[in-house]
Amino acid sequence: DVKVTQSSRYLVKRTGEKVFLECVQDMDHENMFWYRQDPGLGLRLIYFSYDVKMKEKGDIPEGYSVSREKKERFSLILESASTNQTSMYLCASSLNRVEQFFGPGTRLTVL
């Protein structure tokens, strides 16, 4: 079974803080994704990566950056957290980009 883990289930940060969300997968997948999920808006793609050190913007990249130094690890960085970044953040990995396997999510609250 594919296992995708995320560093924290719940996180509370203050406005202006730099926030790191970590994601690790154990299936040697090339493709990894970061989404945010908000009520009424569904899942929206922030960034994805199809190889180590490669990244592409998704639909809502503003205010976020990513890092992929190793194949199994994909990090999402909020450079200066704002209250409108309070959300559920979901990481996914995929061998073929289509069948995506999700982690348990990190519920981030920015005060």
Partner 1 sequence: QKEVEQDPGPLSVPEGAIVSLNCTYSNSAFQYFMWYRQYSRKGPELLMYTYSSGNKEDGRFTAQVDKSSKYISLFIRDSQPSDSATYLCAMSSNTGKLIFGQGTTLQVKP
Residue numbers of the site for partner 1 (CB under 8 A)? 4, 31, 40-43, 45, 48, 58, 90, 94, 96-105, 107
Please say which residue, 87 or 94, places its beta carbon nearer to partner 1.
94
**Tokens, residue 100:** 């995506």
Q: How many CB atoms lie within 10 A of CB 72?
A: 16
Smallest distance, partner 1 to C-beta of residue 98, A: 5
- Residue 74 near residue 64 (C-beta atoms within 8 A): no
Please say which residue, 90 or 110, places its beta carbon nearer to partner 1.
90
Smallest distance, partner 1 to C-beta of residue 68, A: 16
- What gap in Å lies between CA 5 and CA 27, rounded to an integer? 12
